[in-house]
Structure 1
Amino acid sequence: MADRRRRPRWRRLFCVLSLLAGAARAEPMAVAALPGWAEEDAAAALAPFRAGCEALARRDPAESLGGAGETASRAGDWAAACAEAAALPPGSERDFLERRFRPVPLGTGLLTGYYEPLLSGRLTPDAAHPTPLRGPPPSLDALPAPLPDRAAIEAGALDGLAPHLAYADPVEAFFLQIQGSGRVVLEGGGLLRLLYAGKNGHPYRAIGRLLIERGAIPREAMSMQAIRAWLAAAPPAEAAALLRENPSYVFFRREDALRPDQGPPGTLGVPLTPGRSLAVDPAFVPLGAPVWLLARETLDGAPIRRLVQAQDTGGAIKGAARADLFQGWGEAAAARAGVMREQAAMWVLLPRELP
């Protein structure tokens, strides 16, 4: 019953988002006319943009950042806007964004969430932490592709080649690979930051989809939390067999330079900002570009009318208006990211030609 009552509201929301995006296509839109722009904290929105500018300044001006057609962009296209942003006096952020940028509609699409896991780990294995978190084999890029699949790696196919950086619970290790980076809390309170360092070259297979297909979890109830609950209730051998059905395997590297208040670096090369960093498809959206996001939080229904930054990518992020919002780290971030599945309207902000 609850699901049937929700559906009309979802259809209304999707229609509203579609109308907004369609109207933006019909007539040029100013930043000030973006839905909800008047309530935006322009100073907070500009901080991650400035961080992205520092990464762009290290690139060849002719290097492509992605995009297609009108949204195609090179690193040098942002030089003037970045230089002005770096010298802005406090209080002028809103005027700068309204004057310097023009919104280009991306349409409506699916918005999901991701996070940086916080998990218990050990430097030597024990009964509660038996699963190794592996570094890449030497000369990973030079090895024949693909490498052994997940089941073979767990059976020892890379023993002696892929170093063990730490050990964790098998389910926690699996979800760490899905997110691509994480914080491992060691015995005694030490913290180990692990970042993505490559993968084995096999395609990613979503175990959530498998559970839906087998009738284990209804489609409308699917979430990361639902998957975890199923794994916890299943016999250990059955749970392990399901995890091995995803042949993709991720390797990690240690990162000791990040501060605890910094997120992991995204594809752009800057630490991700909770609630402000977005994973996009660079075939449509240039990395480093601001994106106006109109959606809502699945967990509590809070509206999302916010300027975010295209600073990351993801294997499942395909399409102009398909995106993944970085929610931060720890339990609260996991709760928001695990259930997020929303229709969203998006506009990419491109530098405006100024006299």
Structure 2
Amino acid sequence: MIFVRPPSDLEPVAFDAIAGFGEDDLDAAFPVFRRSAERILEAAQEQRPACPPPPELIAAARAALEGSESGAAFFRRWFEPFRLAKRGFVTAYYEPEVEARRAPEPGFETPALSRPSDLVTLNDAPLSLASGEALTSARRLRDESLIPYPPRREIEEEGAATGSIPLAYVADPVELFLIQVQGSARLRFPDGTARALTYDGRNGWPYTSVGRLMIERGLMPEGAMSLEGLKAALRDMGVGPGQPGRRLMQKNRSYVFFRVDESKDRALGPIGGEGAALTPLRSIAVDRSIWCYGLPFWIAADVPWESEAPTHFARLMIAQDTGSAILGAARADLFFGSGARAGALAGRVRHEADFHVFLPKKDPSP
């Protein structure tokens, strides 16, 4: 069994050698770790399976739930910090809060779809294509054979998602596209009620960044790229069937499905790949083929997290999520929270960062 596959050039460091570590509120980070610890000890099913936790992390999780140490004492006792030699890169994400309708009506005609009945997730044995692509989901036929699931265009234009039903309707394909990129949403209806959507699988095709395509095609300068700018540019291009903005979005063949989530945990926040509710500015998405959920990371970068102007960000984060575009050891997506302000700031984050990973000790004795 493969537990964690860290890079070979990790450099051990002392906690006191990490700039800012002594100033962070580790008592605020500790409950976030404890939320992961509960999942680890329950061996709870993960929404998007990652490397399984090593025995040392399981022991640390048990200590977190049974002990009475402060956050600072706990992390110092149970973990060893290592600096990732290669400078990393961070982006950010958020939970959209958008207007929606339960039935289609003018101005709200784009459905958020449930998981299809014939969709099979292939985390351990991806479907390999002659093109060299590996699909992490597929369509299961009646004879139990597997074929590629239809890409975004066919799902949108031909209704190719078998047995999938609309959970709600949002304003346009751009709104749905951004909800799918973020992986969750809180929908608000005219009667004042709300409905939480949680990720429930994807069609398995590799993720393609539409923002990157726009930059490469000269449709938007890299320095001007932001979430609001991307949405506006796509709408200006036209997002009706066959229009340029819609065709550009369909270059991302990946398509995400949802479920309505009324669980107790979902009330605390959007649910990450681990299955735990995420905490703003403490939860991160990591590469699940390298890291396991629950690992603490120290991330330092100058990013626009307090306002549109970049300021220094340095704090302990817990790996509780993953994403198709989050690839590499020194790569993370910072969860910024919910709503329009979180989205406006998250959409501006594309910055280099310094990474430390805290690996669990084999011998936690003082």
Q: Same fold (TM over 0.5)?
A: yes
- Any idea what SS the aligned residue of 1:245 has? coil
| CA-to-aligned-CA distance 1:277-324 (integer Å, 9 cap, x gap) | 111113333321111111122333221110000111111111110110
- Any idea what SS the aligned residue of 2:115 has? coil
Is 2:182 aligned against 1:215? no
Separation in 1 of the partners of 2:50 and 2:161?
Answer: 38
Offset of 1:249 from its aligned partner? Answer: 1.3
Instruction: State the AA in 1 paired with 2:312.
Output: P
Q: What count of residue pairs does the alignment treat as equivalent?
A: 321
Separation in 1 of the partners of 2:109 and 2:184?
Answer: 19
| CA-to-aligned-CA distance 1:181-231 (integer Å, 9 cap, x gap) | 111111211111111111222222222122112211012222222211212
2:107 aligned residue:
128
Instruction: Detail structure 1 runs of 4+ shifted over 6 Å in the superposition.
Output: none
2:292 aligned residue:
286
CA separation of 1:204 and 1:93: change in aligned 2, threshold 3 A: closer
Offset of 1:269 from its aligned partner? Answer: 1.5
Is 2:200 aligned against 1:197? yes
Is 2:58 aligned against 1:79? yes
Offset of 1:338 from its aligned partner? Answer: 0.4
TM-score using structure 2 length: 0.82
Separation in 2 of the partners of 1:24 and 1:248?
Answer: 33
1:149 aligned residue:
151
Separation in 2 of the partners of 1:155 and 1:346?
Answer: 42
TM-score using structure 1 length: 0.84
The answer as to whether partners of 2:206 and 2:324 remain within 8 angstroms in 1 is: no
Residues 41-52 of structure 1 mapped to structure 2, 5 A cutoff? 41-52=25-36
- Any idea what SS the aligned residue of 2:359 has? strand
The answer as to whether partners of 2:91 and 2:334 remain within 8 angstroms in 1 is: yes
2:283 aligned residue:
277
2:313 aligned residue:
304
1:339 aligned residue:
348
Please provide the CA RMSD for this pair. 2.2
- Any idea what SS the aligned residue of 1:339 has? coil
Separation in 1 of the partners of 2:283 and 2:209?
Answer: 24
Separation in 2 of the partners of 1:172 and 1:343?
Answer: 28
Instruction: State the AA in 1 paired with 2:154.
Output: A
CA separation of 1:95 and 1:225: change in aligned 2, threshold 3 A: same
Q: Percent identity?
A: 38
- Any idea what SS the aligned residue of 1:74 has? coil
**Equivalent residue for 1:319, pick from 320, 325, 328:** 328
- Any idea what SS the aligned residue of 2:158 has? coil
- Any stretches of 5+ residues in structure 2 without a counterpart? 1-8, 121-139
Separation in 1 of the partners of 2:63 and 2:163?
Answer: 48
- Any stretches of 5+ residues in structure 1 without a counterpart? 1-22, 67-72
